[in-house]
Amino acid sequence: MPQETLLPESGEKLPQNRTIALVALGSNRSSEEGTPAEVVEKGIAALAKYFEVIRSRSPLYQTPAFPPGSGADYINAAVCIETDHPPQAVIKLLHDIEAQMGRTRKTRWGDRTLDLDLIGFGDIVLPDAETHAIWRALPLSEQMARAPDLLILPHPRVQERAFVLVPLADVAPDWEHPTLGLSVTDMLAALPEALKQEVVAL
């Protein structure tokens, strides 16, 4: 079950100019901040400090590294925040929190002390639907070699990743992907059962 759920009553509207942002957290390397589980908890605490409202957070999950065999298991979680910041400012804040937790960016998809991914931001698509479709369709070999030099929203791989969708289902099951037209629940249901079973609640 989700922890510290602060969701409003059904049908309640957001305050003007505020948007729901979905953030996925992951860690598979201990640091001065503690074990991966402790770092993820500290990351959630930092999000609560920097953003106006934490509407809901997931439990912690343990999942195999992606791509398979690329490192130690991850501790993952997700948070639903409410913010009036634009997505570019949210990304900067996420990167600042990563740096505070000792994150360095040397190897794409390498081990990391803390990874904070902005998964979705209301119904916003960035930079545009055509570019988003190109990044969403990249084969795995190109995903591993190329990183976008601009913000892509929603995250182009969210629909493929159980380690993101399982925690997201705890915090925002009804959030709808603005280009696929599928909810978090729909995307999770479409994944192979074997992938979902790899995501184990702690």
State the pairing for strand pair 74-83/19-27: antiparallel
Domain that holds residue 139: 19-201
Kindly state whether residue 35 falls inside one of the protein's structural domains. Answer: yes
How many angstroms separate the CA atoms of 177 and 175, rounded? 7
Domain at 184, CATH number: 3.30.70.560
Kindly state whether residue 9 falls inside one of the protein's structural domains. Answer: no
Q: List the chain pLDDT tens, one digit each, 202 residues.
A: 333 333 333 345 565 678 999 999 999 998 888 999 999 999 999 999 988 789 999 999 999 987 777 789 999 999 999 999 999 999 999 999 999 888 665 555 567 899 999 999 999 999 999 999 999 988 866 766 677 788 999 999 999 999 999 999 999 999 999 999 999 999 999 999 999 999 999 9
Kindly state whether residue 116 falls inside one of the protein's structural domains. Answer: yes
Kindly state whether residue 3 falls inside one of the protein's structural domains. Answer: no
Kindly state whether residue 11 falls inside one of the protein's structural domains. Answer: no
Kindly state whether residue 60 falls inside one of the protein's structural domains. Answer: yes
Overall domain count for the chain: 1
* Cβ(53)–Cβ(81) below 8 Å: yes
Kindly state whether residue 182 falls inside one of the protein's structural domains. Answer: yes
* Cβ(71)–Cβ(111) below 8 Å: yes
Give the predicted TM-score (pTM) of the model.
Answer: 0.87
Neighbour count for residue 7 (Cβ, 10 Å): 12
Kindly state whether residue 4 falls inside one of the protein's structural domains. Answer: no
What residues act catalytically? 103, 112, 115, 117
Structure tokens at 62: 């343990």
